[in-house]
Structure 1
C-alpha cells in the first residue's frame, strides 16, 4: 500500500479545481495546502475543496515541511519560476503543460530536478489514459501495416481578450502552447520527431497566434497534419491512416475507438475512469515517489524536452515570438 502524500496546489485557477476533483478520489492523496498570490483566493479554494491549509504566497507554502508534492497550475510563463522554487525546497513537482515557454527553460527545470534529486514530471494525463494506451497498442498491429498519415485537431471558440490568459502574450498566450500541444503529443508518440515542419498561423496584431496548422514530415515518408484554434469548434478527432486500414478516436472516454482493418470495421469501447483522467497522472506520481524515482519511466523528462523542442521549431517557422522569453 502506498504511503499517504501531502499535496499542495500552486495556483488556484480553473484547471487546478478540475485536477483536485480527481485527486480527491485517491486514498493516498491528502489535500493539504492551497497557495495563491492572494490569501483570500487561497482560503476560498481550500474551503471549497477541503484543503487543510491556505497560503497567500508560494514562498510560504514551499517552506512548509509537511508538503510532499506540488501541482503547479499557474500560466505557462511562470512554470519555470514556480517549478524551480518548489524543487529548490525539495518538493516533488507535477507541472501543468506546456511544461515551460521554450526548450532552454525545460533544460533549466531538468537540471534543477537532477541537482536537487527531486521528482519532476509534466502533467500530461493523456499518456496514462486507457483509451490512448489502447490506441498505441492497436497502432502496433502488423496487419494494419505502416502508419503513413496522422491528422489531429484541437479547437474551441474563445472570445478575444488580450487581458485574459489565452490571449495575454506575457503569459504564453496562443492556441499552440495551450491546446496545440495535444496534436503534437500524439504525432510525437506515434511517429517520433519530424525532420521538416511547415506552418500557417493566424497572428493577431498583438502578436498572439490564435489558430495554427502544422505539416510535419518524417524520415520514413510519413506525414502529420495538425491544427489548433481558438476561433472555431470541431469534434477534435484524431485519425491514423495505415497501409491497410485506419483508426479514429476523440479523447473523451465515453466515445469508442473506430478501427478498420483490411475492410473490416470495429468499435472498441474503453471503460471510463473514475474522474476526468487527472487522477491517473497523480496516482503515477505517487507510485514514482514510493519507488524513490526523480522522473517517470512512462513520461520521462527527455520526452517533455522533445515535445518542447518541436514546439520551438513550430514557433520559429510560424514567426510566433514571446518577447519576455525568446
Structure 2
C-alpha cells in the first residue's frame, strides 16, 4: 500500500464538545482514519478513545506530536492554546487543522503561518462555513452577477448564554467573549463576499472583567459596500444572513453558517429556492474531507480556506477589539 492509497491518519488534540462533534463526523469521511487522541490527562483521553473506538490515547500533547503514525492533527483546544498546540504539531512534522478562531490575534496567526510555511507543512483554519455547499453556491452566484453589484452584507450570530465566570466563554484569559467565538462567523462571511474591509467601526457591551458580551460591527469595503454584523452572548438572533445587491438579494435562514439552502430574489422575478444538503452529521466532515483532499494532492494549504484569508479575518477581529476595548492578558 502506497502513502496515497492508505487512509489519512488523524490525531485529535483535546476532548471537549467540538472535538467530539468533529470526531463523529470524521469517522464517516472516506479516506480518513482516527488513530489517536490526546488530552492534558490520560483519563480524559482514554475515555474519549473508548467512546469513539480510537486505538491510542495520550495524556500529553508531546506524546501525540511524537507519534509517527499520525499525518494530521485536529487542534480543538481553547483559543488561548491554539498557538502553542499548533506550533508543537507543525514543528513535529504534522499537518494541522486548527479550530476557529485561528488564534487570539493576528500576530499569533502570522506566527503560525510562518511556521507552517517554513516547515512546508499543511495548515488550515477549521472555518467549515467556507466549505458549506450553500455558501459556496452563494459565492458563485454573486461572482456571476446574479444580484448585480453587492451593496451590503448582513449577518448576525447570537444566543443567550449562561453567565458563568468559570466557563471559557466569559474568561478573558481564555479568549472569551462573543467576538471570537461567534463574531468570527459573520466577519468571515463578509470577508468571503466582499474581501478585507477598508474601514472598521464597532461598539460593544463589556462585562466588568472586560469580556465582550454584545458587539455590533460595521465594515466599509472598497466601492462603498457595507457589512452590518453583530454577535451576542445575551441576545438570540437566529443566526441569519443576507446579501443585498443592486438587482436582487440572497437570504439565508437560521444558522447561516451551516445552511442547507437559501432563497434568491431577483428584481421582477419569482423567488428561487436553492436546496443544497450539507451532508450527514454536524457538517464538520466537510473540512476533514478538504484536508484529506489537499494532503493527497500535495498541497500545503487549501485554496478554499486560504491562509491569507485567515490572516485578513484576524486583522479585522483585531481592529474590532481595538474599537471596543478588549485586550487579552498577553497583549
Cα drift, residue 275 of structure 1 = 2.4
Q: CA deviation at 1:255?
A: 5.0
1:68 is aligned to 2:93: no
SS of corresponding position for 1:283: helix
The Cα of 1:226 is off from its aligned counterpart by 0.2
Matched residue SS, 1:200: strand
Give the CA RMSD over aligned residues: 1.4
Name the SS for the 2:303 alignment partner. Answer: coil
Contact 1:2 1:287 in 2 (8 A): no
1:305 aligned to which of 306, 311, 327: 311
TM-score when normalising by structure 1? 0.96
Report if the CA contact (8 A) 2:132-2:259 is conserved.
Answer: no
- Cα distance in 1, alignment partners of residues 135 and 112 from structure 2: 27
Deviations 1:218-240 (A, max 9, x none): 22111111000010112211011
Q: Give the equivalent residue in structure 2 for 1:213.
A: 216
- Does structure 1 retain, via aligned residues, the 8 Å contact 2:134–2:260? no
Structure 1: how far apart are the matches of 2:250 and 2:10?
A: 38
C-alpha distance after superposition, 1:116-169 (max 9, x if no partner): 121111001111111111111222243521110111000111111121111111
Q: For 2:63 and 2:146, how far apart are their aligned partners in 1?
A: 57
Local SS of the residue matching 2:224: coil
Deviations 1:18-42, CA, capped at 9 Å, x for gaps:
0001100013111111100011110
Residue number in structure 2 paired with 1:112 = 115
In the comparison of the two structures, how many residue pairs are matched?
Answer: 325
Structure 1 match to 2:82: 79
> 5 Å matches for 1:94-105?
94-105=97-108
> What is aligned with 1:163?
166
| Selected match of 2:133 from 127, 130, 135 | 130
Q: Give runs of ≥4 in structure 1 deviating > 3 Å.
A: 252-256
SS at match of 2:277: coil
Offset at 1:242?
0.8
* Structure 1 residue 254 displacement after superposition: 6.4
Partner Cα distance (1:161, 1:215) in 2: 29
Q: Which residue of 1 aligns with 2:267?
A: 262
The 5-angstrom pairing of residues 22-61 of structure 1 reads 22-61=25-64
Q: Is the 8 A contact 1:3 1:290 kept in 2?
A: no
Provide the C-alpha distance between the structure 1 equivalents of 2:189 and 2:244, rounded to a whole number of angstroms. 13
Q: State the shift of 1:296 in Å.
A: 1.3
Provide the secondary structure at the position in 2 that maps to 1:154: strand
Q: Tell me which moved more, 66-75 or 24-33.
A: 24-33
Task: Give the counterpart of 2:193 among 176, 187, 190.
Answer: 190
For the residues of structure 1 that align with 2:130 and 2:226, how far apart are their CA atoms? 22
CA–CA distance in 1 between the matches of 2:118 and 2:143?
37
Q: Which residue of 2 aligns with 1:5?
A: 8
1:321 aligns with 327
Counterpart-to-counterpart distance in 2, 1:119 and 1:194: 27
Gaps of 5+ in 2: none
The runs of 5 or more residues in structure 1 that have no matched partner are none
Alignment correspondent of 2:290: 284
Of 295, 298, 302, 2:301 maps to 295
